[in-house]
Structure 1
Amino acid sequence: MTFLDILTQLAQGVSYTLLVTLVCSVTGLLVGLGLASLRRLGLPLLTPLVDWYTYVFRGVPVLVLLFTVYFGLPGIGFKVPPLMAMALSLGLVASAYLAEVFRGAFNSVDPAEVLAAQAMGMTRIQVLRYIELPQMLRFSVPGMVNEFTSILKYSPFAYTVGIPEITKQAMNLTATTLRGVEVYLAVGILYFAIYRICLFTVQCISKRYQIPGMTPI
């Protein structure tokens, strides 16, 4: 078996790796954006809950949370599919970090613009939607890229719940060929290739929506 053959067999798990990364990234993005927006509104009852959520989920190891969801919840009558278990563990942990990224990006919005919009009669929701969110998303692109990269690096945990992604394929291939060095070198190459493709895509999107005068990532 040549090194190219090893890469070809490992590539069978690429689609699952991309699927896990995409699902967890979308989960983290949507939940994190919702949390940051609620916190930005400054609602007295919700702000402490958002702070508690980000504090807890940033402190819980992803693997512990994944095992709790996938192996623990069935004990109380809730059977969770593997992909959903990844979303409820890695996705929610990512959302806590992204919420902090968005909070910092919100703070970069010029307060004078918010004040001017309110003086024009815009409601707080309208200010958030039309003034703050568009700018915040642009400011937060570097932080989002870092977090999405972390999600990709944590995606191998999916093999522990039976998803046949790249790492699972590598373990099976190593067991049959006993060529662990070559197999895991190929794994590293595949992950790096996925990372570069994702980074190039984000750079293209960032350049398209870049704020004039700002340096792209």
Structure 2
Amino acid sequence: MSLLDILLELCKGVVYTVIVTLVCSMTGLVVGLLLSSLHRLSIRSVSFLIDIYTYVFRGVPVLVLLFLVYFGLPGIGIKPPPLMAMALSLGLVAGAYLTEVFRGAFNSVDPAEIVAAQAMGMSRIQVLRYIEIPQMLRFSIPGMINEFTSVLKYSPFAYTVGIPEITKEAMTLTANTLKGIDVYLMVGVLYFVIYRILLLGVQLIQKHYEIPSMKEAAV
């Protein structure tokens, strides 16, 4: 079996790898944006709960949490499908990290702009929506890229719950061909290609929404 044949077989799992990565990344993005925005409103009881969430989920290993969700919840009558189990484990862990990324980015917003917006009669929610969040998202792009990369690297855990992504295909191929070096070399190539494509997509989005003054400063 040639390297090309191995690569073509592994490509069967690429779609599942991309789906897992996108679903978990979007879950983390939504959770992180929601929780960091709520924390920004400085409601003491809510902020305390958010701090507990980020503290716990950043400290729990992804694989342990995945097993707890997929194999543990059926014991109480809840049986999540594999993709949902990934979103409830890897997605929520990513959400905890992105919450902290967004909180740091919020602190980069010029306080004078917030005061000016409030002086114009904007409510706290309006200031958050129209002034703080758009700027925060621009400031947090490097942190988001790092976290999305981590999600991609953790996506092979999906094979443990039956999702036939690249790693699952690689294990099957290795058992059938006994060419472990060739198989996992191609696995590395595929993950690198997926990473570069996703990174290119994020960079195009970043360039589209970049602040004009920042473009001029870069030149």
TM-score, scaled relative to structure 1 = 0.98
Number of aligned positions between the proteins: 216
1:80 shift after superposition? 1.1
1:56 corresponding residue in structure 2: 56
- Give 2:211's aligned amino acid: I
- Give 1:179's aligned amino acid: K
1:93 corresponding residue in structure 2: 93
2:169 corresponding residue in structure 1: 169
Matched, 1:5 2:5: yes
- Give 1:33's aligned amino acid: L
1:204 corresponding residue in structure 2: 204
1:70 corresponding residue in structure 2: 70
1:214 shift after superposition? 3.4
- Give 2:191's aligned amino acid: Y
SS of the aligned residue for 2:155 comes to helix
Matched, 1:23 2:20: no
2:107 corresponding residue in structure 1: 107
1:201 shift after superposition? 0.8
User: Aligned partners of 2:195 and 2:40: how far apart in 1?
Assistant: 32
Please list the CA deviations of residues 141-176 of structure 1 after superposition, one character each: whole Å capped at 9, or x if unmatched: 000000000000000000000000000000000000
Please list the CA deviations of residues 76-131 of structure 1 after superposition, one character each: whole Å capped at 9, or x if unmatched: 11111100000000000000000000000000000000000000110000000000
Matched, 1:179 2:149: no
Matched, 1:138 2:138: yes
User: Aligned partners of 1:212 and 1:149: how far apart in 2?
Assistant: 27
User: Aligned partners of 1:214 and 1:174: how far apart in 2?
Assistant: 49
Matched, 1:84 2:63: no
Unpaired runs of 5+ residues, structure 1, are: none
User: Aligned partners of 2:132 and 2:78: how far apart in 1?
Assistant: 39
- Give 2:11's aligned amino acid: A
User: Aligned partners of 1:78 and 1:106: how far apart in 2?
Assistant: 37
User: Aligned partners of 2:167 and 2:77: how far apart in 1?
Assistant: 30
Unpaired runs of 5+ residues, structure 2, are: none
User: Aligned partners of 1:120 and 1:145: how far apart in 2?
Assistant: 35
- Give 2:8's aligned amino acid: T
1:212 shift after superposition? 3.1
SS of the aligned residue for 2:196 comes to helix
1:213 shift after superposition? 4.2
- Give 1:106's aligned amino acid: F
User: Aligned partners of 2:214 and 2:56: how far apart in 1?
Assistant: 34
SS of the aligned residue for 1:193 comes to helix
2:32 corresponding residue in structure 1: 32
RMSD of aligned Cα (Å): 0.9
Identical counterparts, % of pairs: 75
1:14 shift after superposition? 0.2
User: Aligned partners of 2:13 and 2:56: how far apart in 1?
Assistant: 32
User: Aligned partners of 1:214 and 1:185: how far apart in 2?
Assistant: 40
